[in-house]
Amino acid sequence: MSILVYTETENGQLKKSAFEVASYAKAVADQLGEKAVAVTINAESTNELANYGIDKVLEVKNDKLAKFSADAYAETLKNAAKQEGSKVVVLSQSANAKYLAPLLAVDLEAGYASNVTELPQTDGGFTVKRTAFTNKAFNQTSIDTDVKIIGLSNNAFGLKENKSELEKIEFEAQVSDENFGINVESIDKNTDKVSIADAEIVVSGGRGLKGPENWGMIEELAEVLGAATACSKPVSDMGWRPHAEHVGQTGKPVASNLYIAIGISGAIQHLAGVSASKTKVVINNDDEAPFFKAADYGIVGDAFEVVPKLIEKLKEFKANNA
């Protein structure tokens, strides 16, 4: 028996979210008196998993898995879970993990709970707390199957350093042509910008910015902070910014450490989508904007004056704290 965790890589390097799910898997393993076993696919090095309490890593090296395939990756994880007799499988909530999770759930006949925010309650059952209604509520969900899959919300648990003796084992993916029914024709990824899903900080602009030509300062602020850029729904609907930047209930959810909303009034759908962010800052010239009721820090002022000043001050701060 063991707790299995899929630790994802990006260009061969373990992602930060991998260490978060590893930390979580270790805590679940301790709770249940089990070992924490990680699976990596084409990772260059797995050494760092020893900083987060992982006891064993199954290292998959397979050229066929060079590009993500939900079906083949799910098949690999299924085989790993079967070999390890895993009763709990922990996944992140990256786009890829969310894609493969339901396939794996059917394969393992496992109950799957997504958007989980806390450790499970395991006295006399197995109950997890997850967000529902786009963060407007939590849902205590009992998973009633023998094998359970947990999708851990980004940034919900954090990293927990925990030194361990890491045993490394080569693992055969055992995938076949049948697992590659879908062909990846091309990947268009912005490699010099952090994605909203992976970002620690998100800088978001709304209609108050008056037009797409004014996004330069948003991008500059994001650059200074190493942040991702995002936008409100009207901004994406009007075509000022790409859909991929739309955050909110029908767009992407945001669970960053810091969310800075500039010229966004704060419609209920937007607030729900970003409410999982730990610290929220609002800059708006309308002191009645609903966002002021949902934020931690607020500035009432003209974005075109406040944001350039903020950029200058942050540059000074970064220079002094480098």
Partner 1 sequence: MKILVCISHVPDTTSKINFTEDDTKFDTNGVQFVINPNDEFGLTRAMWFKEKQGASVDVVTVGGKDTEPTIRKALAIGADTAIRVDTEALEGFQVAKELAKVAKDGGYDLIIAGRESIDYNGGMVPGMLAKLIDANFINTCVSLEVDGDKATAVREIDGGKETLTSSLPLVIGGQKGLVEESDLKIPNMRGIMMARKKPLNVVEPVGANSQASTKKFEKPAPKGDIKMVDADNIDELIDLLHNEAKAI
CA–CA distance, 262 with 279 (Å, rounded to integer): 14
Cβ 274 to partner 1, closest distance in Å? 13
Considering only residues 168 to 227 of the shown chain, the ones binding partner 1 according to CB under 8 A are: 181-191, 193-198, 201, 225
Considering only residues 41 to 100 of the shown chain, the ones binding partner 1 according to CB under 8 A are: 68, 70-71, 94-96, 98-100
Residue length of the chain? 322
Cβ 305 to partner 1, closest distance in Å? 7
Closer to partner 1 at the Cβ: 47 or 140?
A: 140
Non-local CB neighbours of 249 within 8 Å, separated by 6+ positions: 134, 269, 270, 272, 273
List Cα–Cα distances, 264 to 105, 247, 268, in angstroms. Answer: 39, 11, 11
Among the residue ranges 81-89, 155-163, 169-177, 308-316, the one whose residues contact partner 1 (CB under 8 A)? 308-316
CA–CA distance, 79 with 156 (Å, rounded to integer): 28
Other CB atoms closer than 10 Å to residue 61's CB: what's the count?
13
Q: Return the residue of 142, 172, 210, 211 that touches partner 1, per CB under 8 A.
A: 142
CA–CA distance, 117 with 138 (Å, rounded to integer): 9
Among the residue ranges 22-30, 45-53, 204-212, 293-301, the one whose residues contact partner 1 (CB under 8 A)? 293-301
CA–CA distance, 282 with 263 (Å, rounded to integer): 8
Among the residue ranges 35-43, 47-55, 203-211, 245-253, the one whose residues contact partner 1 (CB under 8 A)? 245-253
Q: Are 179 and 76 in contact (CB under 8 A)?
A: no
CA–CA distance, 26 with 197 (Å, rounded to integer): 23
Among the residue ranges 33-41, 54-62, 139-147, 157-165, the one whose residues contact partner 1 (CB under 8 A)? 139-147
Cβ 316 to partner 1, closest distance in Å? 9
Closer to partner 1 at the Cβ: 170 or 190?
A: 190
Residues making up the binding site: 207, 263-270, 284
Residues making up the binding site for FAD: 207, 263-270, 284
